Amino acid sequence: MLLASILAFLLCNCSKETFEVDTASKTFFHVKNGDYLIPVLLRGNTASKKIILYVQGGPAGNTLDFATVDYPEWKNTLEKDYAIAYYEQRGTGNRQGNFDFGQNILQTYIEDLHKVAAFLKKAYGAEIIMMGHSFGGGLTLRYMIEYGQSGIPQKYIALNAPVTTDVSTASLRWQFRRAFLFNTAKLEISRNRKVERWNEVLKWLEKTPVIEKIPGDAPYQLMQQWNEYIEELVYPNYAEKNVKVRDYLKAIFFSPYNPIPAYLRKDFEDKGIGSLILQEEEDYVLINRLSKIDQQAVLLITGRYDDICVPEELSYVFEKIPSPEKQIKIIDEAGHDSFLHQAAEFNQILKSFIQ
């Protein structure tokens, strides 16, 4: 009898129901976009009528565990003032069913993003603020370019989002990175930190006016040297947060994740989705399209010591965006996870922009 009841419950064709707003501080649902069910975790202050739609970095990093273990530590800060929607990008996390990535993966990604934004706006009658970190920040800028004034969010935030790429805009990228190393050396010397080593960096930069691929057996040696300086002198001070074993256990055993597809990502690699995304970024040349961001309110943030989205590059991006509603903030003593390295300052900047 029990089993018969369970069978009936599980296999019935449920009739269509209207949506009822769940005002709980944490709610979970899926938004259907074509052949894909997009998992969304909405947490925080929904009564504020402001929802930050968080776009994960990666490419294709998982998002629900990021929220479950509260990696960005927003649960007791930003989420007290706003609701934050964490959604899983197509092909990441649990990825259920037979779905397609479309002809252009990044175009499909922003269509998913548009659907989630439209759903949140309609369901909660809320103002949507799209906020992407790193790769997600690039996706946010791409959304702004592609959707223009028909975009759902009223405001956009690109966190630590690099815009140049390794091939098509490599010379610009390395121009910014060289300037970053030079400016960082000057700053660190003025702050009396590892002066001797930083003076050696300045000497190397003096001998290396351009960082580029060179002929010979080791064409990438200048880039490698730059990386070595960064890994020795910059990154250790502004590293990613160590996730505790307790957090891993929580994500594996008590989250919406089935850990095998969520963490092994073998099919993602087998299909070469990550490589295709990088190729599409190369082909799109986002930095040449920034003039299309001519109306929207956008905040660009990076850390002064972010070696991925270097402030020199972000300042260039800021200049290229014509929108009168643009803002830029370079947070001192912060790296690629600027929201963690200087959390209080970061949160204050966000609140000022969102209000």
Which residue's entry shows tokens 């089935």?
258
User: What is the spatial distance between Cα 132 and Cα 26, in angstroms, rounded to a whole number?
Assistant: 21
Q: How far is the CB of 68 from other proteins (least distance, A)?
A: 10
- Report if residue 202 touches other proteins, rule: CB under 8 A: no
What is the closest distance, in whole angstroms, from the C-beta atom of residue 253 to other proteins in the complex?
Answer: 4
Binding mask 12-51 for other proteins (x = CB under 8 A): xxx-xxxx--------xxxxx----x-x-x----------
- Which of 170, 172, 198 has its CA nearest to residue 186? 198
Contact residues for 126 (Cβ-Cβ < 8 A; gap 6+): 46, 48, 49, 50, 51, 83, 120
SS3 category, 86: strand
Is the CA virtual torsion 70, 155, 349, 176 positive or negative?
positive
Between the CA of residue 206 and those of 170, 184, 201, 209, what are the distances in Å? 20, 14, 9, 6
191 makes contact with other proteins (CB under 8 A): no
Residue placing its CB nearer to other proteins in the complex, 119 or 305:
119
Stretch that binds other proteins, among 90-98, 141-149, 196-204, 289-297 (CB under 8 A): 90-98
For residues 27 and 208, which CB has a smaller minimum distance to other proteins in the complex? 27
Using rule CB under 8 A, residue 8 touches other proteins:
yes
CA distance 120 to 39: 13
Residues 253-282 that bind other proteins (CB under 8 A): 253-254, 256-261, 264, 266-268, 270-271
* CB of 84 vs other proteins, minimal distance in Å: 16
Q: Which is nearer to other proteins, 98 or 355 (CB)?
A: 98
Q: Which amino acid is at 111?
A: E
Note the residues at the interface with other proteins (CB under 8 A).
Answer: 3-4, 6-8, 10-14, 16-19, 28-32, 37, 39, 41, 91, 94-100, 118-119, 122-123, 252-254, 256-261, 264, 266-268, 270-271
